[in-house]
């Protein structure tokens, strides 16, 4: 049954569920996050999404972030965490929220735990060679809808099924770039998973190597058993 840990309290003192979705590049976080969002009725957000949303407001915070990014720096973890905390309190998160790829390192984890505690951290795991094979066939549109030449091809070659935009392959989806990003994940994010377990965050690990639907069913079942939440459409 869902219990309020230190999760943020929102309108009318209702405690919402916070799900973290972590895993290496190629594990399918974007794909599975979208499926979870649809089946559980929760928005899915990453740090990049929040920064883009904030940029659209033209706030003073945007000017600070933009200045840092223009100099080649990442947005400070306290800024990202503050945006997360603010976003969680919006009305569309009343059923809960899924945070994709956050926290990425122990600094972000410490900042997060000062503001809120997740109800569950779901870790999708695959080996590096599988990640390289998957990402090497990945195509994406400018609205970040992701396809894969082998496992999830578009209905029409070169065209996004969702918005009809052209899809393309990113430069950093080449093997050398992929392996570099995977090494960063192993160095920076895997210690976060261990740290969360030590402080009592519920961490569950799911093999992400099977097909998309098999993984999606396991994810929904796992979150249901852990948090007492069930699909809104019966899937």
As a whole number, mean pLDDT of residues 151-164 equals 93
- Give the pLDDT confidence score for residue 88 in this predicted structure: 79
Instruction: Please tell me the pTM assigned to this model.
Output: 0.77
Percentage of the residues of the chain whose pLDDT score is greater than 70 = 83
Mean pLDDT of 230-234: 57
Kindly provide the residue ranges of all beta strands, DSSP E only, lying in 43-107, ordered along the sequence. 44-45, 97-100
180-202 pLDDT per residue, tens: 999 999 999 999 999 999 999 99
Q: Supply φ then ψ for residue 45, to 5 degrees.
A: -140, 145
**Neighbour count for residue 78 (Cβ, 10 Å):** 14
Q: What is the pLDDT of residues 41-50, one digit of tens each?
A: 889 988 777 7
Averaged pLDDT score across all residues of the chain: 83
Half-sphere CA count of 226, side-chain side, radius 13 A: 20
Domain spans, the chain: 11-227
pLDDT for residue 232: 58
Query: Does the domain at residues 11-227 carry the CATH identifier 3.40.50.300?
Result: yes
């Amino acid at each position: 049954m869902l219990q309020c840990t230190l999760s943020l309290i929102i309108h009318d003192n209702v405690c919402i569920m916070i799900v973290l979705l972590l895993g290496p590049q190629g594990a399918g976080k974007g794909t599975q996050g979208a499926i979870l969002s649809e089946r559980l009725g929760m928005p899915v957000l990453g740090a990049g999404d929040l920064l883009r949303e904030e940029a659209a407001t033209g706030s003073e915070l945007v000017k600070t972030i933009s200045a840092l990014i223009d100099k080649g720096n990442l947005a400070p973890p306290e800024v990202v965490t503050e945006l997360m905390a603010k976003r969680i309190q919006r009305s569309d998160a009343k059923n809960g929220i899924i945070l994709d790829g956050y926290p990425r390192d122990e600094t972000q984890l410490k900042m997060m735990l000062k503001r809120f505690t997740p109800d569950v951290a779901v870790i999708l795991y695959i080996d590096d060679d599988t990640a390289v094979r998957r990402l090497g066939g990945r195509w994406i549109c400018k609205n970040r809808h992701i396809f894969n030449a082998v496992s999830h091809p578009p209905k029409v070659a070169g065209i996004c099924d969702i918005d009809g935009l052209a899809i393309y392959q990113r430069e950093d989806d080449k093997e050398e770039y992929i392996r570099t990003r995977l090494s960063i994940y192993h160095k920076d994010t895997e210690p976060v998973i261990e740290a969360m377990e030590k402080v009592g965050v519920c961490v569950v690990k799911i093999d992400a190597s099977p097909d998309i639907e098999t993984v999606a069913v396991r994810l929904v079942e796992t979150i249901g058993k852990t948090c007492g939440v069930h699909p809104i459409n019966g899937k």
